């Protein structure tokens, strides 16, 4: 269970406050895209996401997009929201996180992984020794592999309390 456990769980990316990031000692965020920032089928971010990105960047915290999706999907999206990216990052394997960390200008003391999947984002963060925030997937999902992964996540998610619902 512990390798599958996020540091914090929240409903959506826009619920992540600068205060919480400071509390977690975050210098840099490695950020997922699909179902975290935008629906897998479009390049349009969810409401408030662009403003959230600008606010976090403005606070001096670095953000690099780190996604398992293809470059042709991730690069145009990252450009449109003004972020650097690593596509095809093979989460939960550490290779993508290592590549993403290299893109950061300053060497971060503390890197936080943010995403919506337990078996890619959260397991990957724990394997890499990084803190993590698990989000609730924001869009309806189609396709067999994601449905299998969501079924696998169910037991883990049941044991995790969203920060805004508890103490």
Interacting residue ranges for Mg ion, rule: CB under 5 A: 32, 34-35, 116
* Shortest distance in whole angstroms from residue 43 CB to Mg ion: 15
Residue 84: count other Cβ atoms within 10 Å of its Cβ. 15
How many other CB atoms are found less than 10 A from the CB of residue 103?
16
Closest distance to Mg ion from the beta carbon of 66 (Å) = 10
Select 21 or 33, whichever has its Cβ closest to Mg ion: 33
- Rounded distance, CA 95 to CA 39, Å? 25
Looking at the Cβ atoms of 116 and 153, the one nearer to Mg ion is 116
Q: How many other C-beta atoms lie within 10 A of the C-beta of residue 75?
A: 14
- Is 74 in a helix, a strand, or coil? helix
In degrees and rounded to multiples of 5, residue 43 shows phi and psi of: -100, 5
Beta carbon nearer to Mg ion, 32 or 153: 32
Q: What minimum distance in Å lies between the beta carbon of 106 and Mg ion?
A: 26
Nearer of residues 26 and 120 to Mg ion, judged by Cβ: 120
In the bound complex, what is the minimum distance in angstroms from residue 37's beta carbon to Mg ion?
Answer: 9
């Amino acid at each position: 269970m512990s390798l599958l456990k996020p540091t914090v769980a929240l409903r959506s990316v826009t619920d992540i406050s600068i205060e919480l990031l400071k509390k977690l000692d975050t210098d840099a965020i490695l950020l997922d895209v699909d179902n975290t920032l935008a629906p897998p089928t479009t390049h349009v971010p969810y409401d408030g996401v662009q403003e959230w990105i600008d606010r976090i960047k403005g606070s001096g915290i670095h953000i690099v997009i780190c996604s398992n999706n293809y470059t042709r999907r991730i690069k145009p999206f990252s450009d449109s929201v003004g972020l650097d990216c690593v596509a095809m990052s093979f989460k939960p394997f550490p290779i993508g996180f290592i590549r993403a960390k290299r893109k950061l200008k300053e060497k971060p003391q503390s890197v936080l992984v943010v995403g919506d999947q337990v078996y890619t984002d959260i397991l990957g963060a724990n394997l890499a020794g990084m803190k993590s925030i698990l989000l609730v997937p924001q869009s309806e999902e189609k396709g067999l592999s994601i449905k299998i992964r969501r079924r696998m996540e169910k037991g883990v998610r049941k044991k995790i309390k969203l920060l805004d619902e508890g103490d």
